[in-house]
Amino acid sequence: MTSLKDRLHADVVTHMKERNKTALTTVRNVLGEIETREKSGKTPIELDDAQVTSLLQKEAAKRRDTAKIYTDAGEAERAAAEIAEAEVIETYLPRALTAAEVEAIIDETIAGLRSEGVEPGLRQLGAVMKPVTAKIAGRFDGKAVSEMVRSRLG
């Protein structure tokens, strides 16, 4: 299986051949951001897929925020360009989970604690959140997950 970074590099060529300027520029910018992160610091590192996914989520969110600012300023054309870039980035992100899927993961984790003889309450919030967050891995809003867990435990 190829890494997300390899897929981004391969898509640069694809977007060149298709003459898709928006996608090409966006993917190049994201790859530049990845390289910057890898080379910054005292020793160079290699970002794994989870770290690249996190970076992609931040980049997409940044573009959506910028689009909102442009919209508020009456710059509809620039806002549309930012949204188009965000949509290109979002094609590389994993499918988002539905609220029902997240609730099922939470219930499964709580059931696992009960089977170990621990009666979950708000004191076990961390014990529930850690495995749930690992399973969700950026595919659902963390704040909403925390609220769901609190309501289940409270």
46: domain CATH number is: 1.10.1510.10
Backbone phi, psi, residue 48, to 5°: -90, 175
Q: Which tokens is 40 given?
A: 């910054």
Q: Are 62 and 53 in contact (CB under 8 A)?
A: no
73 pLDDT more than 80: yes
68 pLDDT more than 90: yes
Note the pLDDT tens digit of each residue in 85-101.
999 998 988 887 888 88
Distance of CA 122 to the CA centre of its chain: 27
Q: Tell me: do 60 and 130 sit in the same domain.
A: no
CA distance 70 to 45: 35
127: domain CATH number is: 1.10.10
CB atoms within 10 A of CB 105: 19
Count of the separate structural domains present in the chain: 2
Q: Tell me: do 83 and 26 sit in the same domain.
A: yes
Report the candidate in 38, 29, 35, 102 with the shortest Cα–Cα distance to residue 62: 29
pTM: 0.70
* pLDDT band with cut points at 50, 70 and 90 for residue 79: very high
**Structural domain containing residue 55:** 4-90
Q: Tell me: do 84 and 129 sit in the same domain.
A: no
Report the candidate in 136, 127, 141, 126 with the shortest Cα–Cα distance to residue 50: 136
Q: Which residue has the higher pLDDT, 72 or 1?
A: 72
Q: Are 138 and 102 in contact (CB under 8 A)?
A: no
Q: Which tokens is 17 given?
A: 């051949």
